[in-house]
Structure 1
Amino acid sequence: MTTELLSALGDPKRVAVLGALCAAPGAHTVAGIGARAGLSERDVQRALAVLGGAGLIRRDDAGLSADLGPIRAAAADGAASTPVGRVAADFPRLDGCLKNGRIATIPADGGLKAELGRLVMAALPRRDAYTERELTTELKALGDEPVALRRLLVDLRLVERAADGSRYWPGP
């Protein structure tokens, strides 16, 4: 379904039609959508056929309306397929720290920080040891602040590091 969804959204005319439906919620007619999107009725009909095939259009007795559920579902599926997304369900208190399957913020609360550290360890690939560069690269895949995440893991003693900072390994 994701390929069909992306294909449907890959055309500016179809995006304009979907945008016209979203801009003024409620039921619409083909002529009304065309006027709002600046497209001919023929272009609107073609766009509606493709958008409908992707599940983005609802048709009922009142007219046409947008259904953004498939987009939300695809975004959720994408987030769930990331390393963080695969373990996030085990850490529900951290929902506010995560965005699109990535770590967006590091909480100030000590208990939440410790939980975030456990999430990071669960999302990291299992290895006996990492160089500093390897660990930073892996953490970059999890969030936008890999150095802060590395520091968090060291502070929580979830990883230990060599005195010169060149190697890291799982803590006790």
Structure 2
Amino acid sequence: METATGRLTFRDATDADVDALVALVESAYRGESSRAGWTTEADILQGQRTDPEGVREVVESPDSRLLTVERDGGIVACCQLEHRGEHAYFGMFAVSPALQGEGIGKRVIAEAERQAREVWGVTEMHMTVISVREDLIAWYERRGYRRTGETTPFPYGDERFGIPQRDDLRFELLVKPLA
């Protein structure tokens, strides 16, 4: 895939990528660096978004892949794909804040959908998004995902998922057919 400043390459993450992937995910969602992009959660969650153990678990799981995206020799994006029977789960999606708005995210999600369909033969992609992230949900809706109205509670008190700055957080399931 060609971009204005270089080719995007997709590959599965390895243990050697764990630290760089943790740094990427943290930079896209938490702290001041995340404010350079539009995916920041800094106003609703503080603390960590992920940690080396969580990333390594995805890398090593037989039913998961951590798709790593490189451009010009550096990791610029990633996403988790997990095979869950008839559907795949899409998560841990991050694009470097400095590169957001260049179309990389659209390319990553399209490649993730293609791989899930072709490798696992799944017919749907599922994801969960924090329900107050209206701008992010709208972005996914423009890519064919639909809100289901099905929600699960945010894990308040478990700082592995961050430190909530408000008391109305929950995850909403979004689904897209891949046929």
Q: TM-score scaled by structure 1?
A: 0.27
TM-score when normalising by structure 2: 0.26
Structure (1 or 2) with the greater strand fraction: 2
Q: Which is bigger in relative contact order (C-alpha 8 A, separation at least 6)? A: 2
